[in-house]
Structures are given as structure tokens and as C-alpha cells.
Chains A and B, each alone.
Chain A
């Protein structure tokens, strides 16, 4: 059973556009919702994260929107650049069990 469902699996956006990736979960025990960015041949790296007590968090061009009642959270990349081309993973963590589980990933391509 997938703990978090991520969509779309692939996304092509023009330079300067907005990239949006969505994730949905069921377990209300999750207390930490990070997004990771992975470039080819590298391990994932934390991009931005949010807790369920806030509805939005912004860091530069990257924003997480969190909807607790709908059990959904999304990553918005404003003014997308070719250097943003990578695979993005949402993840969830249950404070009680500590373990972190990931979505299936979204391969983003930003074209000039």
C-alpha cells in the first residue's frame, strides 16, 4: 500500500513557467512533509519541507502548499529554469515510527 501518491510522473515546463507537483496521503499521523530533488547519478537532497500546522512555506522560487483537510500537499516552482530539470520526490514521516517513505517521483524537464 502506497503511503503517499505523487503526480504527475513526468512534467515538461517552459522556462519561466510554473511547475506544480502534487502528493496525497491517508495517514493523519504523518507530521513532516519534505520534498527532495535528485539529479542524475546523485542521491536525493532536501529541497524544502513543511509541518501540518502551517498551510504554506516558501523558500526562494520553491513553495509548498499544504491542505490538511484534503490530505494533500504540493510543490510549486516559480520561474522554472533549465537547471531545475531533475526528479522530485515528496515524502512523509510518521513521528511515532520515524521512518520516511517517498512518492514515486516526478521527472521535471524545463525547456528553453
Chain B
């Protein structure tokens, strides 16, 4: 059972480049989300989804796009990378039914934008 898989683990981009961070889960979880973690800022929610075809914005959505075409995958797209997007990115998933809300996190992607 792989859980939540994030790729790549490390990435360096130049300002203006685009890229997609991949997230996949094999637990049939309805809820998936993306967070960024910065020193002194905690974990901030970027976008989330409660099922295929349904996405919504979190606290810091600007500069990021998401889509949810399947239950398993929830990619995060940076259309034009900026140095302010240098961060550690975590994908997390969970069931949405009451009593089963435990979030499972991936191992993270360290992104540097030069």
C-alpha cells in the first residue's frame, strides 16, 4: 500500500518556468489537498478537492492551478514560477466521512525558484 506519492522530491526552476507537481493516492480517498510549508508560516492550504471534478481554493491559491479528473490524482500546476513560490509542498488526502478524517501526507516536494 503506497499511500500518498508525491513526485518529484526536489526541483529547481527558473523564474517564469512552468511545472506540475504530481500527487497520487491509492486509498480511494475523496478529499485531497495541497499545502505549502514555509518557516514561521506553518502549513498553508493552497487548493483542495472533495472528489473528481470538484476543486476549491484554500488560503493561498494565487499562482497555482489544480484539477481533479480522477479520484487518485491531484496535480498542482505552477504556470509561471516566482521566487516567492520557493517552498516545501505537501499533498494530503483523507476520507470525508465523519470519524475518518485523518489526513495522510506525502513526503513532500522541495521546490526552489531562482
* Minimum Cβ distance to chain A for residue B95 (Å): 10
Residue of A nearest to B45 (CB): A101
Binary per-residue interface labels of chain B (27-54) against chain A in the complex, 1 for a CB within 8 Å, 0 otherwise: 0000101010000111111001010000
Report Cα–Cα, A40/B85, bound state, in Å: 20
Main secondary structure of the interface of B (DSSP, over half): strand
- Tell me if B31 and A44 are in contact (CB < 8 A): no
- Tell me if A102 and B101 are in contact (CB < 8 A): no
Q: A41, A101, A104: which contacts B41 (Cβ < 8 A)? A: A104
Report Cα–Cα, A89/B4, bound state, in Å: 20
Report if A61 contacts B (CB, 8 A).
Answer: no
- Tell me if A101 and B59 are in contact (CB < 8 A): yes
Given A9-B40, A102-B43; A32-B101 close (CB under 8 Å): yes
- Tell me if A36 and B59 are in contact (CB < 8 A): no
Residue of A nearest to B6 (CB): A43
Given A34-B101, A49-B101; A105-B108 close (CB under 8 Å): no
Report if A54 contacts B (CB, 8 A).
Answer: no
Q: How many residues of B contact A (CB 8 A)?
A: 27
Q: How many residues of A contact B (CB 8 A)?
A: 24
Report Cα–Cα, A54/B99, bound state, in Å: 14
Report Cα–Cα, A98/B56, bound state, in Å: 11
Binary per-residue interface labels of chain A (82-108) against chain B in the complex, 1 for a CB within 8 Å, 0 otherwise: 000000010001010111111111000
Residue of B nearest to A1 (CB): B59
Q: A36, A43, A46, A98: which contacts B31 (Cβ < 8 A)? A: A98
- Tell me if B42 and A103 are in contact (CB < 8 A): yes
* Minimum Cβ distance to chain B for residue A83 (Å): 20
- Tell me if B107 and A100 are in contact (CB < 8 A): no
Report Cα–Cα, A97/B47, bound state, in Å: 12
* Minimum Cβ distance to chain A for residue B41 (Å): 6
Interface residues of chain B, those whose CB is within 8 Å of chain A, are 4, 31, 33, 35, 40-45, 48, 50, 56, 58-59, 90, 92, 94, 96, 98, 101-103, 105-108
